[in-house]
Amino acid sequence: MQLKKVLVCCMTASLVMAGGTQLYPVKADTARDLELRGPTSQGNQADNKDTFIPAGTTSADLGELRRKYSETFIFRGPEVKQIALTFDDGPDPRFTPQILDVLHRKGVKATFFVVGARAKKFPGLLRRMSHEGHLIGNHSYSHPNFRNRSIKQFQSEILRTEKIIQNVVGYRPQLIRPPYGEIKEEQVQWAKKNGYTLVNWNVDSQDWKGIDEKKVFSNVMSTAGPGSIILQHSGGGVGSDLTGTIQALPKIIDALQAQGYQFVDLSELLHTTKYR
């Protein structure tokens, strides 16, 4: 938590993303509090290994929302030999292409929850995700903590990102992943009323910490099972290092396929539509 606070304080409304020898500035446009920063979408493992409680949220908060809105707020899939790989916070030219390369080489489809500000900046990567058969979900425009936002701000974040995605790939995603996994009841109610599905995760790779390949592999393999939704990242803030994810990904795929698991995108795992 201390690291997270330091990172939050240090970030400004502009994000500079390094890719090789080039610099990719991501500006907030009209978003005055763009929150694309170091560690993102992270969760803490709860006592029940099938449920991860995002930082800053009590288990009672999410547990109650999960019970009350079980058709709208999803943490894992059905008990079948299928697993969904999900990647948050892209598109990011430092990491996303390498992850897409691995998935293409392995013939695996995944789900990418994209940040609107980055999708606007790097539409070519968004098109590549779609062209290669991956599912695209909505991860807000500026990556705020929705528990600190009003319902109008929540709506704006979702709808703004939705419009960008639609303009680039031609559809409005049905799936939303709230940044950090955090959300308030009135926001869940709005999502339900408007036909969205909120998707968190039950397996956290913790790759946002910049951990190495062995640790990413261990974090995933120690908790993955039938119907698992695995959280990894395809982008990050200044100084982020997802090398561990990129190196571990082919080994995770090989190991789980050897156990008889099939990799599917979230629409297939959850038996829902890809777009609204």
CB-CB contact of 220 with 252 (8 Å): yes
From 134, 139, 143, 233, the catalytic residue: 233
Residues 204 and 184: their CA atoms lie apart, in Å, by 21
Residues 52 and 35: their CA atoms lie apart, in Å, by 22
Q: Could you tell me which of 128, 120, 70 has the C-alpha nearest to residue 96?
A: 128
Q: Which two tokens stand for residue 26?
A: 């991501």
Positive or negative, the CA dihedral 57, 160, 245, 221 is: positive
Q: Quote the Cα angle for 102-116-18, to 5°.
A: 55
Q: Which two tokens stand for residue 20?
A: 């090789």
Residues 186 and 174: their CA atoms lie apart, in Å, by 18
Q: Which two tokens stand for residue 231?
A: 């959280």
88 is catalytic: yes
From 88, 89, 92, 207, the catalytic residue: 88
The DSSP element (H or E) to which 260 belongs, if any, is: none
Which are the catalytic amino acids? 88, 233
